[in-house]
Structure 1
Amino acid sequence: MTSTQPENEDQALQEKLRLSEQIVHLTIQIRQQEERDDQERLLELVQTKGQAWVDLLQSLNVTALHVLSAIGEHEPIKGIQIARQLGITKGAISKVTRKLLEQELIFSERLPNNRKEIYFRLSQKGREIFKWHQQLHPQLEEQGRQFLLRYSIDELQLIVRFCQDYLNQG
């Protein structure tokens, strides 16, 4: 037995629990950091548009940006569809869309053949933010690829397996 291996099953379980907790904490930190970076890069893009755009963008949280993206990618789209796509509650979507409506970044409509359900579309201002946000994705993906090149194939396969398992757990 090597010095790094736990001496018994109880110690092994404790170490697995400790490492699992650390991984969960780190994945949350990674997601939060990526969201902050995304917001900062978007702010850099709109600097040239003037202070009103900067102020508008700073008033939006990451969820609002994701809702704008979901609407821009699938408009017209219902709130329930946005909630499913983003994995958040209908109540959260209602709150965010209400704010986006007030800021005139989206508008709601009822389709002629379906007067019951409300659909969302981007306004011209919302479309501008959506386009800026979409411009960031290739840059972020390339940075991610460059970062991952430091790992071996075996390590990358483990990371892929971990991510797939993590996403498929619930």
Structure 2
Amino acid sequence: MNKEEQVLMGFRDLFNKIVWLNKLKMEKSLKGYKSSEVHCIEYIERNVDSNVTKLAEAFYMTRGAMSKITKKLLKKDIIESYQKQDNKKEIYFRLTKQGKEVYKIHEKLHKEFQERDKAVFEQITEEQFNSMLSFIEKYRRHLDAEIKKTGIDIKSK
């Protein structure tokens, strides 16, 4: 296996382990919510004037799929919709009081996970962080270009 394959396999393995380890606690603390719903809640809280289009773009999903998620969250009274005075066409979302509680639980869990993994990150030098971040950005730009080459506008799906 060459180094490129080792890096990609390493990323996949790390990601899968993080997901598996976090999933147990997330499912227990956020019972009744799917991962996609929780991440949608997080996005809405962190981004003003979130709408189906912005959410779909952020999660590389179709607007139809994101619309289903937002409808579930509206039904659960986790988010509410609103319109702006100057734009009655567009529908935006914000968290309800209950939605803010779910968001707080999610944030608390993320802090616990960061604390759990702190020992590893404390050993990383500034130079190593910069090198990793540089690689991630280069790879992200490459993948964006490859996505563009497909001719499929995933943002308008």
TM-score, normalization by structure 1: 0.65
Matched, 1:34 2:18: yes
State the match for 1:80 in structure 2.
53
Aligned residues: 143
Larger radius of gyration: 1
Q: Distance in 2 between matches of 1:35 and 1:104?
A: 27
Residue 71 of structure 2 aligns with an amino acid whose one-letter code is: R
The 3 A distance-change label for structure 1 pair 168 and 141 is farther
The 3 A distance-change label for structure 1 pair 152 and 115 is closer
Q: Secondary structure at the match of 1:118?
A: strand
TM-score, normalization by structure 2: 0.70
Shift of 1:86: 3.6
Contact 1:42-1:132 at 8 Å conserved across structures: no
Q: Secondary structure at the match of 2:17?
A: helix
Moved over 4 A (4+): 150-158
Q: Secondary structure at the match of 1:41?
A: helix
State the match for 1:96 in structure 2.
69
Computed over aligned residues only, the root mean square deviation of the Cα atoms, in angstroms, reads 2.8
Q: Distance in 2 between matches of 1:106 and 1:36?
A: 27
Shift of 1:153: 6.5
From 9, 21, 34, give the equivalent of 2:5: 21
Shift of 1:36: 3.9
Structure scoring higher RCO (CA < 8 A, sep ≥ 6) equals 2
Unpaired stretches in structure 1, ≥5 consecutive residues: 1-14, 47-56
Residue 33 of structure 1 aligns with an amino acid whose one-letter code is: K
The 3 A distance-change label for structure 1 pair 120 and 153 is closer
Q: Percent identity?
A: 24
Q: Distance in 2 between matches of 1:36 and 1:104?
A: 28
Question: Per-residue displacement from partner, 1:99-129 (whole Å, max 9, x unpaired)?
Answer: 2122221122222321101111112221110
